[in-house]
């Protein structure tokens, strides 16, 4: 009921003045006839003003005749009167119509596709396959047949076990289940071959599950040598070919070299910072530049990305922290401390991720060369790791 | 012009029965713990300081001036004195008056 009133009021309201002897009766009759009036004001004795919805205005005529009141319109408000005023501006109406049409039509297209569930098939490959099967950004979603697309997608990409397409407004959600690949160990199960060293080092531990190894703990092994041979030798029976299996732990050595100077320049932040905004389109960034070129800045970005027809548009907020470069003279202890931290980071970021079950044993510091203004430092790093890969015998 | 004694007795019986029914009805409604204004159709008056007054229950406006409003409800007349009295909302069941209210009075019908 209230919503209906609201719509009536948006459509148009009229402020009316009535004049007569029986204004009270007029109001009561309005109430009885279910004509909604509000903001009733008594201006002078016998003159009353009130607001009424445009739709109910015609009903007042009967009541006015009954109560012998005169009706006068004071002001008009609402959409109906606005439209009436601008009724001759046809172009404006046309533009409004076109705008509404465009917004309706644009919702029938697919604006964004997101793919989930893939681990080893790349996103672009799936995009291309989807495009071939008939689902792409900019495709009209009317008359789309998801079943057909899924079938052709499965033909195009043989690694997909199941696919589901859900169109939600202007978004298309593509869910994919990949075929599970057999792990390498399962493939190796039935083929005959050896385990080969892919790194050189000293053997720390060797456990053979299947096959024969002639190596001992403490022996040095070079890269490319057979660690476990896929053969079983017997005194009484013939030699038998098997799949080599086992783990070999090697102590391998890595190096970290760096040069350190006594004189260094360090950043000293002033605590002041400036802000700017920018827009990036496909990795090209433009921002409002009002910076003083004589100062040094650290740029910190905070961005929000939008994908539009395959283009990546990002709105970026920049923060520029101002700093001064200051000369500093380091002592030898400070340099060694810094070298230690750098080395530890190198081990953590570069070495250990590239090993299998890698573990740091120890690291030795060697000062290679010492000068008046610089030191060359080398770290010898010993790592315990699992090595060896399976190679099929031909 | 007179009523037969028999007819008179019948009428009396009818009136007695009606009274009994209405008494029973009231007792029953009292047992239900319903608010009085619903049961007896009384007017309910709510005021916010001296600026706004809301009258609920079936009502009619008898007199309406800038400084004086007389409202008829089921059992009483409500008289409101003040300055710049406006009727903000008028409805089948509600009447909302705003302005600078100085006095409220009641007259029984």
Flag whether residue B51 sits within 8 Å of chain A, measured between CB atoms: no
Rounded Cα distance between A36 and A352, Å, is 80
Quick one: pLDDT band at residue A52, thresholds 50, 70, 90? Answer: very high
Is the model's pLDDT at A311 over the cut of 80? no
Flag whether residue B60 sits within 8 Å of chain A, measured between CB atoms: yes
Give the model's pLDDT for residue A310: 66
Rounded Cα distance between A85 and A87, Å, is 6
One domain for residues B22 and B48: no
One domain for residues B80 and B27: no
Decide: A243 and A191 in contact? Cβ < 8 Å.
yes
Give the model's pLDDT for residue B86: 92
> Structurally, how many domains does chain B consist of?
2
In this prediction the ipTM stands at 0.73
pTM, two decimals, is 0.46
One domain for residues B13 and B62: no
One domain for residues B48 and B80: yes
Residues A336-388 have pLDDT tens digits of: 888 888 888 888 888 888 888 888 888 888 887 777 778 888 888 888 888 88
Alpha helices in B32-108 (DSSP H): 36-39
Alpha carbon separation from A336 to A330, A353, A366, A377 (Å, rounded): 10, 25, 11, 9
Domain boundaries, chain A: 2-83, 112-178, 263-329
Provide the pairing of β-strand A70-77 with A231-232: unpaired
Q: Which of B57, B62, B64, B67 has the highest number of chain A CBs within 10 A, making it the mutation to test binding with A?
A: B64
Nearest-Cα distance to chain A for B47, in Å, is 18
Decide: B25 and B69 in contact? Cβ < 8 Å.
no
Distance in Å from the first CA to the final CA of chain A: 87
Give the model's pLDDT for residue A175: 92
One domain for residues B49 and B81: yes
Asked if A24's CB is within 8 angstroms of B61's CB, the reply is yes
Asked if A48's CB is within 8 angstroms of B92's CB, the reply is no
Rounded Cα distance between A349 and A331, Å, is 27
Residues B52-95 have pLDDT tens digits of: 999 998 788 999 988 999 999 988 999 999 999 999 988 888 89
Quick one: pLDDT band at residue A184, thresholds 50, 70, 90? Answer: low
Decide: A170 and A306 in contact? Cβ < 8 Å.
no
Asked if A40's CB is within 8 angstroms of B86's CB, the reply is yes
Among candidate residues A256, A255, A254, A246, the one with its CA nearest the CA of residue A197: A246
Mean pLDDT over residues B27-41, rounded? 80
**HEC secondary structure over A8-43:** HHHHCEEEEEEECCCHHHHHHHHHHCCCCEEEEEEE
Give the residue numbers spanning the domain of B27: 5-33
Residue A119, classed as helix, strand or coil, is coil
In the numeric block, the tokens 């059992």 are attached to B75
The most confident of the ranges A105-109, A288-292, A326-330, B30-34 is A105-109
Number of CB atoms found within 10 A of residue A344's CB: 15
Give the model's pLDDT for residue B2: 66
Give the model's pLDDT for residue A169: 87
Is the model's pLDDT at A185 over the cut of 70? no
A2-83: CATH superfamily? ACT domain (3.30.70.260)
Flag whether residue A108 sits within 8 Å of chain B, measured between CB atoms: no
Quick one: pLDDT band at residue A389, thresholds 50, 70, 90? Answer: confident
Decide: A27 and B62 in contact? Cβ < 8 Å.
no
Alpha carbon separation from A38 to A15, A294, B89 (Å, rounded): 10, 68, 5
Among candidate residues A337, A393, A326, the one with its CA nearest the CA of residue A365: A337
One domain for residues B47 and B97: yes
- Nearest 10 degrees: Cα torsion B82, B85, B89, B94: 20
Give the model's pLDDT for residue A29: 92
Inter-helix orientation angle A60-67/A23-32, to 10°: 140
One domain for residues B54 and B74: yes
In the numeric block, the tokens 């681990």 are attached to A119
Residues A278-294 have pLDDT tens digits of: 888 877 877 777 777 77
Rounded Cα distance between A57 and A24, Å, is 18
One domain for residues B47 and B91: yes
One domain for residues B48 and B10: no
What percent of chain A stands above pLDDT 70?
97
Q: Is A20 left (phi over 0), alpha (psi -120 to 50) or beta?
A: left
Alpha carbon separation from B104 to A236, A240, B69, B109 (Å, rounded): 124, 116, 10, 16
DSSP B18: H
Rounded Cα distance between A174 and A131, Å, is 13
Burial class (CB in 10 A: 0-12, 13-18, 19+), A145: exposed
Quick one: pLDDT band at residue A121, thresholds 50, 70, 90? Answer: confident
Both tokens of A354, joined, read: 């590239």
Residues of chain B in contact with residue A36, where contact means CB-CB under 8 angstroms, are: 91
One domain for residues B52 and B100: yes
One domain for residues B60 and B99: yes
Asked if B61's CB is within 8 angstroms of A27's CB, the reply is yes
Rounded Cα distance between A85 and A89, Å, is 9
One domain for residues B24 and B54: no
Asked if B88's CB is within 8 angstroms of A39's CB, the reply is yes
Is the model's pLDDT at A7 over the cut of 70? yes
Both tokens of B89, joined, read: 């909302």
Query: What is the CATH number for B96?
Result: 2.60.40.2000
Rounded Cα distance between B81 and B76, Å, is 16
Give the model's pLDDT for residue A112: 85
A112-178: CATH superfamily? membrane protein fhac (3.10.20.310)
Number of CB atoms found within 10 A of residue B27's CB: 9
Mean pLDDT over residues A149-156, rounded? 88
The rounded mean pLDDT for chain A is 85
């Amino acid at each position: 009921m209230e919503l209906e009133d609201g719509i009536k009021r948006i459509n148009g309201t009229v402020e009316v003045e009535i004049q007569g002897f029986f204004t009270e009766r007029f109001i009561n009759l309005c109430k009885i006839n279910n004509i909604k009036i509000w903001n009733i004001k008594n201006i002078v004795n016998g003159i009353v003003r009130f607001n009424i919805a445009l739709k109910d205005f015609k009903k007042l005529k009967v009541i006015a005749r009954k109560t012998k009141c005169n009706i006068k319109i004071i002001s008009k408000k609402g959409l109906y009167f606005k439209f009436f005023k601008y009724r001759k501006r046809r172009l404006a109406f046309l533009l409004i119509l076109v705008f509404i049409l465009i917004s309706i039509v644009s919702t029938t297209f697919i604006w964004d596709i997101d793919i989930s569930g893939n681990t080893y098939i790349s996103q672009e490959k799936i995009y291309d396959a989807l495009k071939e099967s008939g689902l792409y950004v900019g495709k009209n979603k009317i008359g789309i047949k998801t079943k057909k697309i899924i079938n052709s997608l499965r033909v195009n990409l043989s690694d997909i076990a199941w696919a589901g397409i859900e169109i939600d407004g202007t978004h298309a959600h593509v869910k994919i289940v990949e075929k599970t690949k057999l792990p390498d160990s399962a493939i190796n199960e039935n083929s005959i071959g050896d385990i080969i060293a892919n790194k050189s080092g000293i053997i720390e531990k060797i456990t053979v599950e299947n096959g024969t190894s002639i190596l001992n703990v403490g022996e040095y092994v070079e890269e490319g040598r057979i660690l476990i041979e896929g053969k079983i030798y017997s005194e009484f029976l013939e030699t038998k070919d098997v799949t080599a299996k086992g783990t070999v732990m090697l102590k391998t050595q890595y190096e970290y070299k760096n040069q350190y100077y006594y004189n260094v320049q360090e950043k000293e932040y002033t605590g002041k910072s400036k802000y700017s905004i920018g827009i990036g389109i496909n990795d090209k960034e433009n921002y409002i530049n009002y910076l003083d070129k004589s100062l040094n800045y650290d740029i910190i970005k905070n961005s929000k990305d939008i994908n539009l027809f395959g283009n990546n548009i990002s709105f970026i907020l920049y923060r520029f922290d101002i700093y001064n470069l200051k000369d500093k003279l380091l002592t030898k202890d400070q340099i060694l401390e810094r070298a230690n931290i750098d080395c530890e980071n190198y081990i953590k970021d570069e070495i250990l991720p590239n090993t299998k079950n890698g573990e740091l044993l120890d690291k030795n510091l060697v000062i290679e060369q010492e000068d008046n203004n610089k030191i060359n430092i080398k770290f010898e790093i010993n790592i315990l790791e699992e090595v060896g890969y399976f190679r099929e015998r031909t | 012009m007179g009523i037969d004694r028999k007819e008179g007795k019948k009428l009396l019986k009818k009136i007695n029965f009606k009274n009994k029914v209405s008494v029973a009805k009231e007792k029953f409604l009292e047992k239900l713990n319903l608010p009085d204004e619903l049961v007896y159709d009384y007017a309910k008056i709510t005021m916010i300081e001296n600026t706004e007054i809301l009258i609920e229950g079936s009502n009619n406006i008898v007199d309406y001036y800038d400084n004086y409003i007389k409202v008829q409800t089921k059992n009483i007349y409500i008289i409101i004195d003040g300055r710049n009295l406006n009727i903000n909302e008028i409805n089948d069941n509600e009447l909302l008056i705003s302005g600078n209210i100085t006095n409220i009075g009641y007259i029984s019908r």
